């Protein structure tokens, strides 16, 4: 069970019909049940996605508590939090599409409660278009595992036999933003990590096959994945560790070199 939330001003909650108009204007393949009263409904909301019947649980938190609720909910005046809960991949894609349209029509913020991560309406629409395009028959977790195994199979030998030992340099781009450059004669990665996230890099050692989002690369979230079995470090940049745009596979020892440089940069600051 996963959820996506939209924080919006109370007086910007649309009717189901207005919500559907926003969906149509964004050209998302989602149809809502227009008999639902968005102000009072609780529970399952039937919808169709790409012509296939599905739905999601719909709830409203009328008094979201900022410390426990979605991040930054206190930045929206007189805020409410619309929560869409899904129990399958298909329901999840429908919920993300609905959330993106709700943010567009209300000016709200979309919160991926599983990450957690916050999207403005433009980023939320990009996310929705990505997830709606996914194959309904493939389990997301299985696909992520298969993708990582595929990376390893295709490029392990190239990495270990042909990639020069990486050089790592870390220096402060701003007072609270560390620029980490990882380079060889073949590649160069520039990762920007806020001071508040530097401690997360050490956690990469123990996460196994699970990706950690730390910093940004080419203005996109940077995802770090360690593979102890193959002695590799994956660093990719993009929406998530599956739908990434750019990335590199490095020897596992690169992580230790990064940690050394980070510690030195912190000591200098």
CATH number given to 141-268 = 2.30.31
88, 56 contact by CB (below 8 A): no
Instruction: Output phi, psi for 215, to 5 deg.
Output: 75, -165
223, 240 contact by CB (below 8 A): yes
Closest among 82, 6, 71, 1 to 40, alpha carbons compared = 82
Please, which pLDDT band fits residue 232 given cuts at 50, 70 and 90? confident
Name the most confidently modeled range: 72-81, 102-111, 125-134.
102-111
Which helix (DSSP H) or strand (DSSP E) does residue 125 occupy?
A: helix 121-132
Structure tokens at 105: 């029509």
Average pLDDT, the chain: 83
Domain ranges of the chain: 2-132, 141-268
Closest among 213, 216, 214, 248 to 232, alpha carbons compared = 248
CATH of 2-132, one of 3.20.20, 3.40.50, 2.60.40, 3.30.310: 3.30.310
Q: What does the pLDDT read at residue 56?
A: 94
31, 55 contact by CB (below 8 A): no
């Amino acid at each position: 069970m996963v959820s996506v939330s939209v924080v919006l001003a109370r007086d910007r909650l649309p009717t189901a019909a207005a919500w559907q108009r926003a969906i149509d204007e964004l050209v998302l393949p989602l149809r809502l049940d227009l008999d639902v009263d968005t102000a009072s409904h609780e529970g399952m909301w039937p919808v169709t996605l790409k012509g296939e019947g599905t739905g999601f649980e719909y709830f409203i938190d009328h008094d979201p508590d900022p410390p426990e609720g979605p991040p930054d909910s206190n930045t929206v005046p007189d805020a409410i939090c619309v929560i869409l809960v899904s129990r399958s991949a298909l329901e999840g894609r429908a919920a993300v599409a609905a959330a993106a349209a709700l943010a567009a029509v209300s000016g709200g913020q979309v919160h991926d409660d599983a990450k957690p991560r916050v999207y403005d309406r433009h980023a939320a629409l990009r996310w929705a278009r990505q997830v709606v395009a996914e194959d309904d028959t493939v389990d997301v977790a299985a696909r992520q595992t298969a993708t990582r195994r595929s990376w390893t199979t295709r490029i392990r030998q190239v990495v270990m036999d042909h990639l020069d030992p990486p050089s790592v340099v870390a220096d402060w781009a701003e007072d609270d933003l560390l620029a980490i450059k990882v380079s060889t004669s073949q590649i160069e990665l520039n990762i920007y990590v806020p001071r508040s996230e530097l401690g997360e890099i050490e956690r990469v050692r123990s996460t196994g096959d699970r990706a950690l989002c730390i910093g940004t690369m080419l203005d996109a979230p940077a995802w770090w994945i360690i593979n102890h079995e193959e002695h590799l470090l994956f660093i990719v940049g993009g929406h998530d560790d599956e739908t990434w745009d750019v990335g590199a596979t490095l020897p596992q020892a690169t992580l230790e070199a990064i940690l050394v440089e980070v510690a030195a940069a912190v000591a200098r600051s």
